[in-house]
Amino acid sequence: MFLNIIILVALVLASLWTVMTRSLLRSGIGLALTSVILAIIMFRLASPLAAVFELSVCAGLISVLFVSVISLTQPYSQKEIIERMKLMLVRFRLLPFIILGLGLILLLIKVNFDLILPIPETERNVRNLLWNFRQLDLFGQIIILLAGAFAVVILFKEMRKNVR
Amino acid sequence: MYSALILKPFFCVLIMNMFLKGWAKKTALWVALLLSVAQIIFAIFPETYHQSSFIYVISNFFKFDLAADNITRVLLLCIGIVFFVTIILAKQMIKDDDRRFNFINLLLIIVSGLNGVVLVTDIFSLYVFLEIVAVGSFVLIAFNKEMLALEGAFKYIILSSVASIMMLTAIALLLLVSGSTSFSAISASLLYSTYNPLIMIAMITFICGLFIKAGLMPFHGWLPDAYTAAPGPVSVLLAGVVTKTVGVYTLMRIVISVFGLYLPIQKILMFVGASSIIFAALAALGQTDFKRMLSFSSISQVGYIVLGLGCGTTLGIAGALFHLFNHTIFKSLLFVNAATVEAQAGTRDMQKLGGLSAKMPITGFSSVLASLSAAGIPPLAGFWSKLIIVIALWLSGNYIYAIIAVMGSVLTLAYFLSLQRMVFFGKLREDLMNIKEGGLGFMIPTVLLAVITVGAGLAFPYLLNTFILPVSSIFGG
Amino acid sequence: MTDKILLLPIIIPLLGGLLALLTPKKSGALKEGISLIAVLLNLVVTFSLFKSNLYYALPWVGFGLEFSLRLYHFSAFIISASAFFGFLIMFYSVVFMRGKQFLNQFYAYFLITLAFINGAVLADNLVIMLFFWEGSLAALFGLIAIGGKGAFKTATKAFIILGITDLCMMFGIALTGQLAGTLTISNINLPLNLLGSLAFILLMVGAISKAGSMPFHSWIPDAAVDSPLPFMAFMPAALEKLLGIYLLTRISLDLFKLNPHTWISIMLMTIGSITIILAVMMALIQKDYKKLLSYHAISQVGYMILGIGTALPVGIIGGLFHMVNNALYKSCLFLTGGAVEKEAGSTDLAKLGGLRKNMPITFVCFAVAALAISGVPPFNGFFSKELIYDGALERGWIFYLAAIVGSFLTAASFLKLGHAAFLGKISDENKNVKEAPLAMLLPMIVIALTCIIFGVFNILPIKNFIQPILGEARLGGHNFYGLPTNIFLVVVTLIVLAAALLNHLFGVKRYGSGLKAVDHIHYAPGLSWIYNKAEGRFFDPYEIGLNLVNVISRVGYGIDRGIDWIYDKFTVNLTLALTGGIRKLHTGNFSVYLAWSLLGMFFVILFLLRSI
């Protein structure tokens, strides 16, 4: 239990770092770190398949993509970065208090979560499950990928054409 | 056989891109048009579908769990009509072949996603299809890659992903409770633990996600920017069906057939609906941008639908559904008008327009029709749906909300009148002397939608008995 | 099959009216022909239906509203009488109206009125009756409005007065239906308890205002000046009396159990007496042929209401007989007025005089009718008035006194009218006045003859038409025809008539002219002030109402300004402020929008958790 909380706190810290850090490169690395911690949580929740996917796709593939793309861009100058940093700090200065306040209110309302949970089903063959029961979702994912591909075509490929 | 509705657009995209790219660049438009007409026909006459066709064989290959009732037919009809309109507008407004081809591809993907949203019977699949629509919409909003458009798309991405997180959380909690994600399993398992706080939170989290998607006050922040910045055909698509299907229809479906109506949830729905009606109408009153005013009006009208839904009675739900249909029609019409005006006059700023009715009679007249329908003036279609909603609210004892609904109607009339006065009536400005009526690509959708608005109003008694009330009986039972 | 014939008295004039409306303006005599055929057919049908008892019901909208018509002796009598008058006056109008404007409309409204009045009389359902009743009001409006300049205002006045009273009647009908549980007239028989009395009064207001009683009379003198003359002969003189008194009789005899012991009876008699006195006082001083007659049209209603209000058989019979007689001689008088107007070009008494030689037949008809209305034996008016006196005296000497004073003044005013118009010296411009055309004379002659016949052979109308209305049970074996039985009353009447004659001679001698024969009453101390006020319409309830409305509208205007301010300034500014505020909130910063969404969700969850 204690370990779980430590991991969760680490997850939050890593994602905060990802969002708040100065350079895009560090932000990409932070994303990878977040994915790794998420994978650890999944391992601990006894779903190794999901953890492996998370590690390989998010932490591995996407991070590599990000880092390689970012290395192609021109970074902000140091002065600009500091200014943006200040702006961000000003903008989000109230955030911790709000989160704490909201948490406090939720704590004060004593909610009684007593639930009758059904017995968890025994693990089924993943391939079988995906193809026989979640065919529609798989199909949907394919369409999303397709849409993503078109997004790249429309927003980036054409942009290059315009630049040229 | 319903799977064909999802599969056909998808396979069209695949085939056109893989094998026939050179040929398809010219003809994609007509393929899409054919598909839209097929969808309209299917929505009106579902029995015309031949089971022996090739498509049927393919459809049977996939084991999709889909279901349709009368309400889905209404939505499929809306999607078909707006799909059709959008394609014709795109032909008019996007001249470049390559870009138009890409546009059509994305449009087909979105339609595929919308049909999926309407037809699925599983809450996770629902989520997946919502995402398809969302991703497609991001790209389409930013289609012209103007600064404002990118900003609007960005806001949509952020808020939409927050909505996704909310919905995913809710789905996870529901999966925990019921062990399955299909609608029937969830609603069955919810019967065992009514009024459990965790489940209620899960429900309301999901509903809040849908509020964001539907753009209700105060979850609406992305909507005016996205609608305004999007290119003309995309605004029509977004305002006409995307938010309606993704947000409002899903809300109806989830609340009625999955969660069931709980009093607190009803109260929340009605409150959010009423606040949307009033505040969005007030906000619309102060706008000077044609499309921005329309987007606030859209929020306000969605408020009516949610108000009718929150009322919870059969009549209220029937009214909500009818208003959904009407709103799709008249708001699409208004956005088509806005696109026409923008294309012809080169601006959407209402203070720089005026007196266009003299030069653009069809656009002017149809926009008056649509505005009056939106404001609920008899005998146009919008009057009947609003009337049903108000009556339902009154009968169910929600007098204050009924009064708010009527007041909202007055405000609607107010901002639409100011719109009409600024854009279409009054004196024609000097610099607009040479303005002309829009081309055929604008006029076909305009006339089509105007005819539907008037026709639905005049044929209301028929529609009510054969179309709307049976729908509600499916729900009420 | 034979029942359906009951629809004919409604359909024939209605069709005729519509046809007349549709005929082209330049079609010559076509519309006159159509109208005459319609009234003739109507006359034939109603006369042929006389003495038959028919009932026709057509299921209508439900809720106890069926389209039912009932013909029995009373309604048959009324529709026959109205058909009779309709025919004669139409005959007269064809000549009189020639060359006037709006002829199509005149004939159309005339016939439609006839149709609606037939409908209202025949109706056996209160709502159906109301429908026809209101329809006749609309036609009445049209008939007055086509009169020319200023007529529209009068028409509006009539419409408002009668509209308000009809509204009362509508409430009365609703209340009656509620009390009785049915709207079918022949099934209603209510006691006059508290609510019953209220219903009675509401219905009575409708009935007596139709008949033209005070205080709902004030449009009639105005209409006399403005509207086409045949209208006056037709509507206020004949048909409206028939209709109004018919309804009053129905509600007194059938719908409610009116008996002499109720205060309603006293009230009716009071209204009647006041109407007699006040209207005849006004008639006395009029200087215009038509206007003088119009006040008599009001005054005579008083006798009828008084007679029916006695709730005694003798009074009721007198009242009904008086209704018939009044319709006869009053329409005859108006027709003579029309003849004078047509030939001499004016109805101003100061410009008339000495027409006796030029228009002998008209004069004779006038004389007969005037003697009848004054109650001189052996004309019909004498007998009906005697019956009413009899009833009134039995109920209280004060009512008798009012009636007899009314009689005196009536006689005096007609002596004045006759003297001023037909006797005396003829003015120069009237030297060449000719007798009216035959088509106009014929109706007058017929009516005047009828006056004499109904007087001398009063057994004819009373036995055949009027006594059956009350029925054998109420009559108790009495017969009211023949010579008056109460010698005392006859003597008093004769004395009063003689006094009127003496008064007239005194006046003529004193002022030297027939026109001014009653000036000593007009300018009597005390009376002249009242007369002045009355001439200035000070007592006209309509004018009082208008003034009241004016005051109210002043006050309303002040309130309206305030409300206007709320609409024009307050609401707009509030809306602008709200709109501006909301616009300011939309900064375009996505984090703000995000914060809204999250806060919204937070509050929603909070609400949910509180309400579980």
C598/B264 Cβ within 8 A? no
3-state secondary structure of C125: strand
pLDDT in tens, B413-456: 888 888 887 777 777 777 777 777 777 778 888 888 888 888 77
Contact residues on chain B for A134, CB-CB shorter than 8 A: 124-125
CB distance B342 to B232 below 8 Å:
yes
Long-range contacts from C189-198, C-beta under 8 angstroms, 24+ separation? C189/C254, C189/C255, C189/C256, C189/C257, C190/C255, C190/C256, C190/C257, C191/C256, C191/C257, C192/C256, C192/C257, C192/C258, C192/C262, C192/C264, C196/C256, C197/C262, C197/C263, C197/C264
A154/B198 Cβ within 8 A? no
A148/B109 Cβ within 8 A? no
* Domain boundaries, given as residue ranges, for chain B: 262-477
Residue C277 CB partners (closer than 8 Å, separation 6+)? C302, C402, C405, C406, C409
Report the complex ipTM: 0.78
C582/B219 Cβ within 8 A? no
Contact residues on chain B for C607, CB-CB shorter than 8 A: 264, 267-268
Report yes or no: B297 at the A interface, CB cutoff 8 Å: no
CA distance B391 to C455: 67
Residue C322 or C434, more confident: C322
**Residue B333 has which token pair?**
């019409």
Tens of pLDDT, residue by residue, chain B (477 residues):
677 777 778 777 777 777 766 776 777 778 778 888 878 877 777 666 555 566 566 666 666 777 777 778 788 888 888 888 888 888 888 877 778 888 888 888 888 888 888 888 888 888 888 888 888 888 888 888 778 888 888 888 888 888 888 888 888 888 877 777 788 888 877 777 667 777 888 888 888 889 888 888 888 888 888 888 888 888 888 888 888 888 888 888 888 888 877 888 888 888 988 988 888 888 888 778 888 888 888 888 899 999 888 888 878 888 888 888 888 888 888 888 888 888 887 778 777 777 777 777 778 888 888 888 887 776 777 778 888 888 888 888 888 888 888 888 888 888 888 888 777 777 777 777 777 777 777 888 888 888 888 877 777 767 666 666 665 555 543
Residue B110 CB partners (closer than 8 Å, separation 6+)? B132, B133, B136, B137, B140, B237, B242
- Rounded to a whole number, what is the distance in Å from the CA of B462 to chain C's nearest CA? 23
Report yes or no: A91 at the C interface, CB cutoff 8 Å: yes
3-state secondary structure of B226: helix
Contact residues on chain A for B160, CB-CB shorter than 8 A: none
* Strand partners of residue C54: C71
B/e letters for B165-203, b = 16+ CB within 10 Å, e = fewer, are ebbeebbebbbebbebbbbebbbebbeebeebbbbbbbb
Say what the pLDDT of residue A25 is.
76
Which of C593, C594, C605, C608 would best serve as a mutation to test chain A binding (most A beta carbons within 10 A)?
Answer: C605
Give the DSSP letter of residue C470. Answer: H
* Strand partners of residue C190: C256
Nearest-CA neighbor of C352 among C276, C412, C292? Answer: C292
Residue C346 CB partners (closer than 8 Å, separation 6+)? C352
CA distance C247 to C259: 17
Q: How far is CA B164 from CA B129, B207, B254, C75, in A?
A: 11, 11, 15, 82
Write out the DSSP string of B27-71: HHHHHHHHHHHHHHHHHH-GGG--TTSHHHHHHHHS---B---HH
Neighbours, chain C (3 or more CB pairs < 8 A):
A, B
Which of B60, B104, B139, B193 would best serve as a mutation to test chain A binding (most A beta carbons within 10 A)?
Answer: B139
Give the DSSP letter of residue C218. Answer: T
> How many C-beta atoms lie closer than 10 Å to residue B366's C-beta?
27
What are C's interface residues with A at a Cβ cutoff of 8 A? 591, 602, 606, 609-610
B116/A136 Cβ within 8 A? yes
Report yes or no: B190 at the A interface, CB cutoff 8 Å: no
Report yes or no: A72 at the B interface, CB cutoff 8 Å: no
Number of DSSP helices (H) and strands (E) in chain B, helices first: 24, 0
Residue C610 amino acid letter: R
B145/A159 Cβ within 8 A? yes
C610/A109 Cβ within 8 A? yes
Say what the pLDDT of residue A164 is.
45
Nearest-CA neighbor of C143 among C166, C117, C182? Answer: C117
What are B's interface residues with C at a Cβ cutoff of 8 A? 151, 154-155, 158-159, 162, 166, 195, 197, 200-201, 204-205, 207-208, 211-212, 218-222, 224-225, 263-265, 267-268, 272, 279, 282-283, 285-287, 414
CB distance B114 to B82 below 8 Å:
no
C596/B205 Cβ within 8 A? no
CB distance C485 to C373 below 8 Å:
no
Q: Residue C1: which pLDDT band, with cuts at 50, 70 and 90?
A: very low
B/e letters for B23-34, b = 16+ CB within 10 Å, e = fewer, are ebbeebbebbbe
C602/A102 Cβ within 8 A? yes
Residue C523 or B103, more confident: B103
**Residue C60 has which token pair?**
């209508």
Neighbours, chain A (3 or more CB pairs < 8 A):
B, C
CB distance B383 to B457 below 8 Å:
yes
CB distance A34 to A15 below 8 Å:
yes
- Rounded to a whole number, what is the distance in Å from the CA of B387 to chain A's nearest CA? 39
Of B207, B221, B267, which is closest to C596 when you measure between CB atoms?
B221
- Rounded to a whole number, what is the distance in Å from the CA of B23 to chain A's nearest CA? 19
> How many C-beta atoms lie closer than 10 Å to residue A161's C-beta?
9
3-state secondary structure of B260: coil
Which of B154, B198, B212 would best serve as a mutation to test chain C binding (most C beta carbons within 10 A)?
Answer: B212
CA distance B79 to B87: 12
Closest alpha carbon within chain B to C604: B268
pTM over 0.90: no
B112/A143 Cβ within 8 A? yes
Give the DSSP letter of residue A154. Answer: I
Contact residues on chain A for C610, CB-CB shorter than 8 A: 109
- Rounded to a whole number, what is the distance in Å from the CA of A68 to chain C's nearest CA? 29
Report yes or no: A105 at the C interface, CB cutoff 8 Å: yes
Long-range contacts from C533-539, C-beta under 8 angstroms, 24+ separation? C534/C282, C535/C285, C537/C218
Report yes or no: B50 at the A interface, CB cutoff 8 Å: no
pLDDT in tens, C404-417: 788 888 887 887 77
**Residue C581 has which token pair?**
């505020």
Contact residues on chain B for C608, CB-CB shorter than 8 A: 200-201, 204, 264-265, 268
Report yes or no: A102 at the B interface, CB cutoff 8 Å: no
